[in-house]
A and B are shown apart, each in its own frame.
Chain A
């Protein structure tokens, strides 16, 4: 089954404790992206990657890091989480590069709470 898998789905942590949210896709997609979804603000892009070893900032990259060492994986790293990073996070992927109009496939989401 084609899917994007995120882990963990739910996480409560404390300020400053480094954490990683993993994302893996099994569709051999070149493009992967991370979004955060907040009430009243909609989906906002954090980082994206057009292919292995190619990453770039989205609209709200501050406080986040990513890496793309393998085509299928695109982890999101919060080096020193703060309460304003409490949010619902989605990983997404699609075939092709950023100029492609192919549909995005989303993961189930990771709800993060930073105390």
Chain B
């Protein structure tokens, strides 16, 4: 069964304390892996798409990487405004369905 597991469920960091969020997946044919950011009371907002193992994408303090089994979202020197829930989703090659993980709730304290 195709599934996506994110860890940890919640992460508390001090401002400037770098860390990584993990997204492990099993899918019968990966078309793409997506990272989204979701702020409280808002809809998810697209961050990155990764297509193949070894690929990396960067945006400000965020860097996403992809292997054949997992993806990492690295946060370098986070700021309080980076606090949000980060969602990972994989798209099946066959049919194109998106399967979401349950998210990692990140809190960055000043």
What is the interface size of chain B, counting residues whose CB is below 8 A from a CB of the partner? 22
Residue A64 lies at the interface, judged by CB distance under 8 Å to chain B = no
> Quick check: A106 and B96 within 8 Å, CB to CB?
no
> Quick check: B45 and A106 within 8 Å, CB to CB?
yes
> Quick check: B45 and A45 within 8 Å, CB to CB?
no
Stretch binding the partner chain, chosen from B13-21, B70-78, B99-107: B99-107
Within 8 A of B (CB), among A35-54: 40-45
Question: Please, how many angstroms separate the alpha-carbon atoms of A110 and B97 in the complex?
Answer: 22
Hey, which chain A residues are within 8 Å of B43, CB to CB? 4, 90, 92, 106-109
Stretch binding the partner chain, chosen from A12-20, A67-75, A96-104: A96-104
> Quick check: A104 and B100 within 8 Å, CB to CB?
no
The chain B residues found within 8 Å of chain A, CB to CB, are: 31-32, 34, 41-46, 49, 51, 87, 89, 91, 95-98, 100-103
Hey, which chain A residues are within 8 Å of B89, CB to CB? 43
> Which one of B31, B34, B95 lies within 8 Å of A103 (CB-CB)?
B34
> Quick check: B102 and A41 within 8 Å, CB to CB?
yes
CB distance from A40 to the nearest CB of B (A): 7
